[in-house]
């Protein structure tokens, strides 16, 4: 039986592995924590995530990376961006050039600004790398609610193999050859989701959220297109689809970060309570640096950066955005105009 390896015993890695195994395919979940792997095998539950939800009895877990990844035609890496390169480097000792490796991590590497697929290409011999991204709230997928995701790669056969091995009765796979756009959309939307959480925490209404999501998408698209992405990618599942769910769902970690900040909690306390990485915290810094480097206006993302890393007060960040000069809306008319004083 064809084996799928999922690397990362967090919420999404666990969910993806459970979904694959539940669809009748051999799947091995790798966790660096030996105790987590043992508990999954013995109790069919992840002791750290979704303890109330039984996992497929056909799912097998291991803490041995070679055992998980060797000879698996498809390997999906779902670990935090901060540790992604380390895992990719270790993975490089065990994979062959003909294996397909996907990143399911929606982040960018600090300092280098590189995407996760670029790290896979640098640290392994795999030629057919790609990314998995979309509106994928883990808890809903684990509960069997309908969902879909996008597999992006420059290689059509990598997309087709991934679709064959990852699809499930209520988990649909779409393909996209714009790997750059899909990865950027997945990473940058987390920054906007933090801003959306702030609106929720302040008790602001649907008009404000609609405004934020729309203008946030414009910022993401501006930077993505500047870096070479296809603008159409941002109107798909990996773009507006993922942005919508992350900005509106209380299950979104990044949304919860913003809501906590709006209620006066410290960032440290919020992160400790979450117990998982909210990628938007680190991505906000990378986003600010990329926007400055390429001369792209991203006022919402800049406000989130200042909120997280410079101590800007929540209401001051909101006031700064609302008092900006009027601008033309279209992406190719990004300049302001004067409003006559009365």
Those residues with Cβ within 8 angstroms of residue 312's Cβ, 6 or more apart along the chain or in another chain: 303, 306
Condensed to tens digits (0 to 9), the pLDDT of residues 230-241 reads: 999 999 999 999
Sign of CA dihedral 261, 263, 269, 270: negative
Cα 43-132-20 angle, rounded to 5 deg? 35
Looking at residue 339, its pLDDT comes to 52
Tell me which CATH code domain 3-177 carries.
Answer: 3.40.50.720
Residues linked to residue 116 through DSSP beta bridges, in sequence order: none
Condensed to tens digits (0 to 9), the pLDDT of residues 52-110 reads: 999 999 999 999 999 999 999 999 999 999 999 999 999 999 999 999 999 999 999 99
Condensed to tens digits (0 to 9), the pLDDT of residues 263-279 reads: 999 999 999 999 888 99
Just list the catalytic residues.
189
Looking at residue 78, its pLDDT comes to 98
> Position of tokens 């280098």?
112
Looking at residue 7, its pLDDT comes to 98
Is the distance from CB of 304 to CB of 190 less than 8 angstroms? no
Query: How many whole angstroms separate alpha carbon 89 and alpha carbon 110?
Result: 17
Looking at residue 275, its pLDDT comes to 85
As given in the structure block, the two tokens for residue 309 are 């890393």
Q: Does domain 181-322 have CATH number 3.40.50.300?
A: no
Indicate the domain borders of the chain: 3-177, 181-322
Is pLDDT of 218 > 70? yes
* Total-model pTM: 0.93
């Amino acid at each position: 039986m064809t084996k799928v390896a999922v690397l990362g015993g967090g919420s999404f890695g666990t969910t993806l592995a459970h979904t694959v195994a539940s669809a009748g395919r051999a799947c091995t979940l790798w966790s660096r924590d030996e105790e987590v792997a043992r508990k999954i095998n013995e109790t069919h539950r992840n002791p750290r995530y979704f303890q109330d939800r039984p996992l497929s009895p056909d799912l097998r877990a291991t803490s041995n990376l070679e055992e998980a990844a060797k000879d698996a035609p498809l390997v999906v890496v779902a670990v935090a961006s901060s540790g992604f390169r380390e895992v990719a480097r270790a993975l490089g000792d065990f994979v062959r050039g003909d294996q397909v490796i996907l990143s399911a991590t929606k982040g960018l590497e600090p300092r280098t600004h590189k995407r996760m697929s670029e790290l896979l290409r640098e640290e392994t011999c795999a030629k057919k790398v790609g990314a998995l991204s979309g509106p994928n709230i883990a808890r809903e997928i684990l509960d069997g609610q309908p969902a879909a995701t996008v597999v992006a790669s420059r290689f059509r056969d990598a997309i087709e193999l991934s679709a064959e091995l990852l699809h499930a009765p209520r988990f649909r796979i779409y393909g996209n050859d714009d790997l750059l756009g899909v990865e950027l959309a997945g990473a940058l939307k987390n920054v906007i989701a933090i801003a959306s959480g702030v609106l929720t925490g302040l008790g602001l209404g649907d008009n404000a959220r609609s405004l934020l999501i729309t203008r946030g998408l414009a910022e993401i698209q501006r930077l993505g297109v500047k870096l070479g992405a296809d603008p159409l990618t941002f109107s798909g599942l990996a773009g507006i689809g993922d942005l919508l769910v992350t900005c509106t769902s209380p299950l979104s970690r990044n949304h919860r970060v913003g809501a906590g900040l709006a209620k006066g909690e410290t960032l440290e306390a919020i992160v400790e309570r979450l117990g998982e990485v909210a990628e938007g915290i680190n991505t906000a810094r990378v986003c600010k640096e990329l926007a400055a480097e390429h001369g792209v206006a991203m006022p919402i993302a800049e406000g989130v950066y200042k909120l997280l890393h410079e101590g800007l007060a929540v209401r001051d960040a909101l006031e700064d955005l609302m008092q900006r000069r009027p601008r033309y809306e279209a992406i190719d008319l990004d300049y302001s105009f004067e409003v006559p004083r009365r």
